[in-house]
Amino acid sequence: MSASSAPMVYVNGDYLPADQAKISIFDRGFLFADGVYEVTAVLKRCLIDYAPHIERLKRSLRELDMAMPCSDDELERIHRQLIEMNDMDEGTIYLQVTRGDEGCRNFPFPEDAKPSLVLFTQPVNLSEDPKADTGVFLASMPDIRWARRDIKSVALLAQVLAKQEAKARGAHEAVMLQDGFVTEGGSSALGFVKADGSIVLRPFSNTILPSITRQAVTKLADQSGVAIEERLFTLDEMMAAQEVFTASATSLVTAVVKIDEQRIGGGQPGPVVRKLRALYFEMAEQQIHEQADAWS
């Protein structure tokens, strides 16, 4: 450890205090947003749903004709090392792979690109998040993103604008709309609960990110006998629902209690979303036990 009090980060083979870590100005992530990322939740020092996050990373890389920057074992070691070095019990790990740097700005892929790999931790209170008790507000707006939202690209300017607009309108998250239908949140999947207790979700396609948390929640709902309907839905339909929720590595499963000026349900998190959140933590607890066994 160095004398710096900055958190430790990983950059291309080195563990460094964040204030000493550097990336080239020619890195294509910086110049073109030519890269992909993952955010994995950490609870009790364990990685939650790590394997599907890495599977999605590999898919994103394949879709952009980029190579994995290191072996699977090495990548997992880096995640664990950062949790240890930063003594992080709970939070998220951010991972970014960019196409690297060829010492100039040139649009086509470099001939012999060496990808850049960066990881850092962010302590976040996920399990005791006060927003889980109060619920969150959404603000609706057009979805102005590109046509390959299934790739977890670092080109997030449209989401930055969406979430900034949501914030300016007093909301925690955006609900984005295309062709009259809801796509997803600025950085979360969205779903709602119908009066008959079933859950409605937009089908995965290139219009939304295949959320890992949503997939976990869908499986848990299915196992507990909740019907899942995958179809397009409108903002009006979602606003008339009993319960609405966000799903993401940073919100896990969180109730939505207001969309624009409309209260959802009674303006309080409802029973189905509370149950799903509880089931999610049970699932996480199971993974924590498995990892403790595997790494002891």
**83 versus 209: smaller Cβ distance to ligand PDD:** 209
CA distance 139 to 170: 8
Strand partners, 201: 191, 230
- Closest residue to ligand PDD in the complex (CB): 213
**101 versus 287: smaller Cβ distance to ligand PDD:** 287
Q: How far is the CB of 139 from ligand PDD (least distance, A)?
A: 15
Q: How far is the CB of 39 from ligand PDD (least distance, A)?
A: 4
Q: How far is the CB of 1 from ligand PDD (least distance, A)?
A: 28
**121 versus 213: smaller Cβ distance to ligand PDD:** 213
CA distance 159 to 8: 27
DSSP H helices, 109-255, are 130-134, 157-168, 212-223, 235-239
CB 53, CB 101: distance < 8 Å: no
CA distance 32 to 230: 34
Strand partners, 122: 92
CB 254, CB 136: distance < 8 Å: yes
Q: How far is the CB of 248 from ligand PDD (least distance, A)?
A: 4
Backbone region of residue 286 per phi and psi (left: phi > 0; alpha: psi in -120 to 50; beta: other values):
alpha
Residues in contact with ligand PDD by CB under 6 A are: 39, 184, 187-189, 209, 211-214, 247-250
Q: How far is the CB of 184 from ligand PDD (least distance, A)?
A: 5
Strand ranges for 112-198 from DSSP E: 116-123, 136-142, 173-178, 181-185, 189-193
**12 versus 122: smaller Cβ distance to ligand PDD:** 122
Long-range contacts of 232-238 (CB under 8 A, 24+ apart): 232/181, 232/182, 232/202, 232/203, 233/181, 233/182, 233/192, 233/200, 233/202, 234/180, 234/181, 234/182, 235/140, 235/175, 235/177, 235/182, 235/259, 237/192, 237/200, 238/175, 238/182, 238/190, 238/192
**175 versus 247: smaller Cβ distance to ligand PDD:** 247
**54 versus 247: smaller Cβ distance to ligand PDD:** 247
Whether 167 is catalytic is no
- Tell me which of 152, 167, 194, 275 is the catalytic residue: 152
Q: How far is the CB of 296 from ligand PDD (least distance, A)?
A: 28
Q: Which residues are catalytic?
A: 152
